[in-house]
Amino acid sequence: MAKKKKVFKSAALSQANRSREQRLRENLIQVVNGQSRLLNRPEDLYEMLADGLDDIETFKDPREQLELLAWTLRADFIAFKADTDEEKEGWDALFYDAGTFFVELASQYTDKDYVADLVHDLALRHVGGEGRSVVFLSVEEFLPKERAQTLLAELLDAVTEVDQGNREDILDAICDMADSIKDATIFAKAALLKDPDKSNATLIDIANAQFMAGNLELAKQWLGDVRNPGAEDEEAFLDLQAAIADREGRKSDCIKMAHALYEKFPKVVNLGRLCAFVSAQEATSLLQEYARFRSGNGLEMDFMQLLVSLKAYTVLEEYLDMFEKELTVQDAQDLNEISDALEKDGQKALAQRIRDWTVEEPEEAEGFDNRDS
């Protein structure tokens, strides 16, 4: 009998024979399982994950793309290990890109059961990361409502039957998905499992879910159980009261609530809501008052964006008279978007005024004014 030839196993050769998809999958699994040496080298780990996203984009099999994106999203716990807020923002942005990529592919992929299984796995292992939250909040975009409801029922069963160490994170995932498909009943079940004592915040969240689902009477019932809301609870409470009054056509009540909301919490977002309910003349007066007395110690980008959205161009000019030089330290992309919107609406001179002070690298910029040159 002929002797068998000895076969020497080479790790390097074995690795070389693997496809790019296989190598990426193995790297991601090692990261998720805490076995990768890159976990001690965050810069190299970031580069590997970012390059992995680029590679996934070039792969041809959408099923495999979705699987690899799901493995990438399961690594979003890394963001919590960042040493600085800036580093965490970088990680969150990376996983946000992975989440939006997943949503885009999943919306086109026809095997919805496979997609639901991937989301089920992401939810059961959720640890509060930003990346997979993008997926949960967008589930209506890629799963039929009935299939999503089945998925949520399965997750509710799992979280009640098994003592999960990440129970609250799973319930957050369920709430996000229920919010996405506007299923107020499932939202309430998950919210009350997380907070059986029914805090004001939970009651307001459930009332808001009912409102978004179009159940105004149930929204008012849940809101009626709120007692002495304080701080952020009061802001959400008043905001929802105003929205319900608006939906029911009670204009005077709506304006009253919106005024109370803005006076107690003078934020740009609350100002915008109030301006949407009052007359054009009163809205202009409110905007001018905010620009002069409530705009803090400098230019606020979100206020500029509000002025553009409301077409309050006279107020915007007055605002720039006060804070024009501060445009040099604002994000160039945000300013360019404002300028583009102004030009599209025929406000070319105002757009050019902003462009004259827009620079691509704010930290190195110095104020200049070439309008008189």
User: 370 pLDDT exceeds 80?
Assistant: no
With a CB cutoff of 8 Å and minimum separation 6, the contacts of 358 are 327, 328, 330, 332, 335, 336, 339
Residues present in the chain in total: 373
User: What pLDDT is stored for residue 135 in this prediction?
Assistant: 97
- Helices 62-73 and 112-124: angle between axes, nearest 10 degrees: 10
Cβ atoms of residues 50 and 94 within 8 Å: yes
Alpha-carbon distance of 298 to 307, in angstroms, equals 16
Q: What is the pLDDT at residue 102?
A: 98
Say if residue 361's pLDDT is above 70: no
Give pLDDT, residue 25: 94
In this predicted structure, which of 3-17, 178-192, 328-342 has the lowest mean pLDDT?
3-17
pLDDT tens-digit series, residues 63-99: 999 999 999 999 999 988 888 989 999 999 999 999 9
For residues 170 and 178, the answer to whether their CB atoms sit within 8 Å is no
- Is pTM beyond 0.95 here? no
Neighbours of 93 (CB within 10 A): 13
Q: Report the distance separating Cα 212 and Cα 233, nearest Å.
A: 18
pLDDT at 11 over 90: no
What pLDDT was estimated at residue 165? 85
Percent of the chain at pLDDT > 90 equals 80
State how far the Cα of 134 lies from the Cα of 97, in Å rounded to an integer.
9
Q: Percent helix, strand, coil in the chain (nearest 5)?
A: 75, 0, 25
Residue 75 has a pLDDT of 94
DSSP characters over 89-107: HHHHHHHHHHHHHHHHHHH
C-alpha–C-alpha distance, residues 68 and 71, integer Å: 5
Distance CA 292, CA 319 (A): 8
| 3-state helix/strand/coil string of 282-306 | HHHHHHHHHHHHHCCCCCCHHHHHH
Taking alpha carbons only, the member of 116, 121, 37, 110 closest to residue 72 is: 121
Instruction: Compute the distance between CA of residue 70 and CA of residue 58 in angstroms, rounded to an integer.
Output: 16
| The pair of three-digit structure tokens given for residue 351, joined into one six-digit string | 């757009």
User: Who's near 14: CB < 8 A, 6+ residues apart?
Assistant: none
Contact between residue 310 and residue 274 where contact means Cβ atoms under 8 Å apart = no
pLDDT value of residue 232 = 79
